[in-house]
């Protein structure tokens, strides 16, 4: 290994070390009972067990439940809406397609705070009281564009004649959709769903502006109000660790899938 | 007649319509509402007082200028640290592992609050006081992956023949970089700037946590005003100013995020 290569590798690993030190600290201190970070009070799994046996505070538990329910509903709805929309957009004429693509990109360009505030104003203007429904609608709003973008490349890679062939052979358009198009774009749909799910779980700003004041908390908004009060609930450390490891595993799976698809394409 | 209706619903381009309606209601209308509310007073009458208040009130204006400054510094730091990393990651000579790339972009998918709190705990443990320095570190830490990813993406797509052609024509390493690689990587840098600069101006939670509520960025001011019904219109005006900045930044970057996402690759 020559000097230049060593330097390059060294730089990468140094940067990675800085990026991961804070996360590692949280992970390490999830294995001790201390209330204050940095104060090691001996190895213990108590924080992990209290996560699962209901030993932790009720509000954290319901925040976790809300986060998962919202993510499941929102990502399912976005996946359905976005996949059908992608097929539609793909078959639009050039001009309207560009227009819809532009609209589809708006939520991607806007920072979270703008998406959150604009939807907050919409619900105020419509006089809708904010809560579960508004948070889910807001999450569908920022997740669906990602579904459209992950389904679109599959449609572009598809042979356009097989849909026509199915119709010629007597399939109704809905049969052709179910038997021809959907199987072809399925990998894109699955990636879109996973992407939406992680985005929804991860969201903070949009949820904060659309959750209203009925006491609904998601994990992110719970952490926020907790941190503002000063201390962090110790159970958040094992929870963050678990979330971090799950995200890592999910991403590796998605990545392996897309690598495999790329290889299949080459073959 | 029935035939016509049936044909309308089975035409694939029609399937885009539910999503187009959805986009109009949940993306376009809310953005218009920001503009409407910004020019209204508490009772719904037309006024520009929200904007004169912004110019006359030193606190909001100063925070705005300070936030833009912090965002510029953060963006520069991210380019300085991220560009070499993206270059090394994309160069086959130094790195062939996709997993290493994944490790760099993984923090993008970890909750920003958790990452920020992790940095806070790092400062606590090492005894470094929180404040402006900590805020800069935290912002750079939070947004660095968003700079590395688009630059890496553009660099891997540079046609290797161009580099070889330059070498064949007698360019040395430095010349190849300055004349070929750097100009071709600029679209990635621009996307990175979009993904770092805009969210930095508009962050609100991060600055509160990293400076113990000492320093507030523009996002915090927007958030405080929009949530209270009697300053909601002022908050909308501030959001409109934020939208204006987004518009200006977009002018510099025509190849918005979708070109990154459309090209597939990692996620």
Task: Give the mean pLDDT of A104-124.
Answer: 92
Query: Mind telling me how many Å the CA of A54 is from chain B's nearest CA?
Result: 22
pLDDT of residue A202: 85
Is the distance from CB of B119 to CB of B126 less than 8 angstroms? no
Residues in A touching B228 (Cβ below 8 Å) = none
Average pLDDT, chain A: 87
Tell whether B109 lies on the interface with A, counting CB pairs under 8 A.
yes
Average pLDDT, chain B: 84
pLDDT band per the 50, 70, 90 thresholds, residue B262: very low
pLDDT band per the 50, 70, 90 thresholds, residue B267: very low
The architecture CATH gives domain A58-229 = Orthogonal Bundle (1.10)
The residue of chain B nearest to residue A191, with distances taken between CA atoms, is B267
- In angstroms, the Cα distances linking A157 to A151, B14, B42, B53, B177 are 10, 21, 53, 53, 34
pLDDT of residue B253: 64
pLDDT of residue B68: 92
Residues in A touching B155 (Cβ below 8 Å) = none
Task: Give the mean pLDDT of A89-113.
Answer: 90
pLDDT band per the 50, 70, 90 thresholds, residue A265: low
Per-residue pLDDT at B261 exceeds 50: no
pLDDT of residue B265: 39
pLDDT of residue A86: 94
Q: What is the per-residue pLDDT across B89-100, written as a single tens digit (0 to 9) for each?
A: 988 777 777 778
Inter-chain CB proximity A209 and B243 less than 8 Å: no
A216-243 burial by CB neighbour count: b if 16+ within 10 A, else e?
Answer: bbbbbbbbbebbeeeebbbbbbbbbbeb
Q: To the nearest whole percent, how much of chain B has pLDDT over 70?
A: 94
Which pTM does this prediction carry? 0.85
Task: Give the mean pLDDT of A242-254.
Answer: 80
pLDDT of residue B82: 94
The residue of chain B nearest to residue A153, with distances taken between CA atoms, is B262
Report d(CA B188, CA B260) in Å as an integer.
Answer: 8
pLDDT of residue B45: 83
Q: Which structural domains are found in chain B, ordered by start?
A: 58-227+255-262 (1.10.3720.10)
pLDDT of residue A198: 85
Whole-number CA gyration radius for chain B: 23
Residue B114 tokens read as 């958790």
User: Per mean pLDDT, which range of A91-105, A179-193, B92-106, B189-203 is the poorest?
Assistant: B92-106
pLDDT of residue B151: 92
Task: Give the mean pLDDT of A120-133.
Answer: 92
Q: What is the per-residue pLDDT across B115-173, written as a single tens digit (0 to 9) for each?
A: 888 888 888 888 888 888 899 999 999 899 999 989 998 988 888 888 888 888 988 88
Inter-chain CB proximity B85 and A15 less than 8 Å: yes
Q: What is the per-residue pLDDT across A10-33, written as a single tens digit (0 to 9) for each?
A: 999 999 998 888 888 888 888 888
pLDDT band per the 50, 70, 90 thresholds, residue A52: confident
Report d(CA B236, CA A121) in Å as an integer.
Answer: 9
Inter-chain CB proximity A85 and B222 less than 8 Å: no
Report d(CA B70, CA A236) in Å as an integer.
Answer: 30
């Amino acid at each position: 290994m020559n000097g230049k290569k060593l330097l390059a590798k060294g730089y990468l690993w140094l940067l990675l070390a800085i990026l991961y030190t804070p996360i590692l600290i949280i992970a390490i201190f999830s294995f001790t009972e201390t209330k204050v970070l940095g104060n090691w009070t001996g190895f213990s799994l108590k924080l992990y067990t209290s996560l699962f046996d209901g030993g932790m505070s009720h509000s954290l538990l319901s925040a976790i439940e809300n986060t998962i329910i919202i993510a499941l509903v929102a990502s399912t709805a976005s996946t359905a809406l976005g996949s059908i929309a992608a097929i539609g957009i793909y078959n639009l004429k050039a001009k309207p397609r560009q227009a819809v693509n532009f609209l589809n990109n708006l939520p991607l360009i806007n920072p979270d705070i703008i998406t959150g505030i604009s939807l907050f104003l919409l619900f105020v203007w419509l006089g809708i009281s904010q809560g579960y429904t508004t948070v889910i609608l807001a999450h569908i709003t920022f997740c669906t564009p990602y579904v459209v973008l992950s389904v679109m490349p599959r449609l572009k890679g598809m042979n356009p004649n097989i849909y026509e062939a199915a119709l010629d052979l007597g399939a109704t358009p809905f049969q052709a959709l179910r038997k021809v198009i959907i199987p072809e774009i399925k990998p894109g749909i699955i990636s879109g769903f996973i992407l939406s799910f992680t985005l929804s779980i991860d969201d903070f700003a949009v949820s904060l502006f659309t959750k209203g004041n009925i006491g609904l908390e998601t994990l992110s908004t719970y952490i926020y109000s907790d941190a503002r009060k000063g201390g962090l609930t110790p159970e958040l450390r094992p929870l963050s660790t678990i979330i971090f490891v799950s995200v890592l595993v999910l991403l590796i799976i998605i990545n392996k899938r897309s690598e495999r698809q790329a290889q299949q394409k080459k073959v | 007649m029935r035939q016509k209706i049936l044909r309308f619903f089975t035409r694939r381009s029609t399937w885009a319509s539910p999503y187009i309606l959805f986009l109009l209601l949940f993306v376009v209308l809310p953005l218009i509402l920001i503009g409407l509310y910004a020019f209204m007073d508490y009772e719904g009458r037309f006024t520009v007082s929200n904007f004169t208040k912004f110019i006359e009130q030193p606190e909001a204006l100063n925070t705005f200028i300070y936030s833009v400054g912090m965002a510029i510094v953060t963006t520069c730091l991210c380019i300085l640290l991220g560009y070499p990393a993206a270059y090394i990651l994309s160069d086959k000579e130094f790195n062939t592992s996709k997993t290493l790339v994944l490790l760099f972009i993984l923090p993008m998918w970890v909750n920003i609050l958790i990452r920020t709190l992790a940095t806070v705990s790092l400062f606590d443990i090492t005894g470094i006081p929180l404040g402006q320095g900590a805020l800069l570190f935290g912002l750079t830490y939070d947004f660095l992956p968003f700079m590395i990813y688009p630059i890496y993406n553009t660099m891997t797509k540079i046609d290797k023949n161009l580099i070889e052609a330059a070498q064949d024509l007698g360019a040395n390493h430095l010349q190849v970089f300055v004349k070929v690689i750097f100009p071709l990587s600029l679209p990635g840098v621009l996307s990175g700037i979009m993904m770092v600069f805009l969210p930095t101006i508009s962050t609100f939670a991060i600055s509160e946590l990293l400076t113990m509520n000492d320093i507030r960025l523009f996002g915090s001011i927007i958030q405080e005003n929009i949530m209270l019904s009697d300053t909601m219109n002022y908050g909308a005006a501030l959001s409109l100013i934020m939208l204006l900045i987004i518009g200006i930044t977009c002018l510099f970057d025509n190849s918005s995020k979708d070109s990154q996402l459309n090209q597939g690759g990692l996620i």
